Amino acid sequence: MNYFLAKTDPEAYSIEQFEREGTTIWDGVRNAQAVRAIQLMRPGDEVLIYHSQGEAAIVGLAHVISEPRPDPQDAKSWVVEMAFVRCFAQPVTLREIKESHRFDEWSLVRQSRLSTMTVPESFITWLREKDVF
């Protein structure tokens, strides 16, 4: 199983809306590096959901439930279906991640505008140690 992070503006699509809907097609990704991350996703992979505006924090968890496929609405993009798993009781803020200095080389810290990315296993271990994951 692999881990990914997907950012969303909570005013456009929040974790609460995702929870109500249960599943969603993750689309709207145009950056080539972020599209490559979507292309790597497979059913059963887990995705950390990140609110990019306001609180700037990891707020929940989803499962990938489909193979990635080209976006029928945008030839430069790919989509994948995800199922909501849960909200985190305590969001993990970008500030907290940065202040740890354990993940300074991760794309979340280095490339703030990248919307979808892989997650290092060391970060998942850190979340488990914090009893978040």
| Per-residue pLDDT reduced to its tens digit, 26-38 | 999 999 999 999 9
CATH number of the domain that residue 117 is part of: 3.10.590.10
Q: Number of folded domains in the chain?
A: 1
Residue range of the domain that includes 95: 3-129
Average pLDDT, stretch 76-105? 96
CB 58 within 8 A of CB 49: yes
> How many residues are given for the chain?
133
Is 112 a residue whose pLDDT tops 90?
A: no
How does residue 13 score in pLDDT terms, banded at 50, 70 and 90?
very high
| Per-residue pLDDT reduced to its tens digit, 50-63 | 999 888 999 999 99
Average pLDDT, stretch 116-122? 96
For 108, the enclosing helix (H) or strand (E) is helix 107-110
**CB neighbours (10 Å) of residue 51?**
22
Q: Cα-flanking dihedrals φ and ψ of residue 28, to 5°?
A: 85, 10
Q: 7: closest CA among 102, 119, 85, 95?
A: 119
Average pLDDT, stretch 92-120? 94
What pLDDT does residue 133 have? Answer: 79
3-class SS at 9? coil
